[in-house]
């Protein structure tokens, strides 16, 4: 596996990122960077070994929205950064931020009323039960 990971062949790296449990972090990041927005990039990003620490510092201001979205995955990302990213020009970044429990409550409530953010905000684990009930009531879901 280590020999395969050193080849830097895009096809080999993509397959490792999708199928091998011990794929090195740097390989997963190369797959993501090369294929952002694709199924293979998603597989790399959801891999158990995909790095999380340091992503906010590296990607919060990246020109590509797919990379800015990675900043939300960083456990050190601050609520202020999550809120800023919830207003990002890229919808995927806004959605990732809307679903993050660090999003300040006032912004979480706003996001519930924004069509492209409502689903992510509604699934946010920080959403209080009474707010969840209000969302279901507005959607016409019976008790």
pLDDT tens per residue across span 22-63: 777 777 777 777 766 666 676 777 778 778 899 999 999 999
Question: What percentage of the chain carries pLDDT values higher than 70?
Answer: 81
Answer for the pair 45, 32: CB distance below 8 angstroms, yes or no. yes
For residue 94 the two structure tokens come to 């806004």
What is the torsional sign of CA 90, 93, 98, 102? negative
Q: Is the pTM of this model over 0.75?
A: yes
Q: Give me the pLDDT at residue 47, please.
A: 76
* CA nearest to 17, candidates 115, 72, 1, 138: 1
- Give dist(CA 108, CA 80) in Å, integer: 13
Whether the predicted pLDDT of 5 surpasses 60: no
Summary mean pLDDT of the chain: 85
**Helices (H) and strands (E) in the chain — how many of each?**
11, 0
- Give dist(CA 68, CA 58) in Å, integer: 9
- Give dist(CA 126, CA 51) in Å, integer: 24
């Amino acid at each position: 596996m280590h020999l395969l990971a050193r080849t830097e062949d895009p096809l080999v790296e993509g397959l490792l990122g999708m199928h091998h449990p011990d794929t090195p972090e740097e390989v997963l990041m190369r797959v993501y960077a090369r294929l952002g927005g694709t199924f293979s990039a998603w597989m790399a990003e959801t891999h158990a070994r995909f790095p999380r620490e340091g992503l906010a510092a590296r990607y919060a201001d990246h020109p590509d929205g797919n990379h800015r979205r990675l900043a939300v995955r960083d456990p050190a990302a601050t609520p202020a950064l999550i809120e800023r990213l919830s207003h990002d020009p890229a919808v995927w970044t806004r959605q990732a931020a809307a679903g993050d429990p660090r999003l300040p409550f006032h912004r979480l409530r706003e996001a519930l009323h924004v069509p492209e953010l409502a689903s992510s905000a509604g699934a946010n684990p920080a959403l209080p039960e009474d707010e969840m009930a209000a969302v279901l009531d507005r959607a016409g879901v019976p008790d």
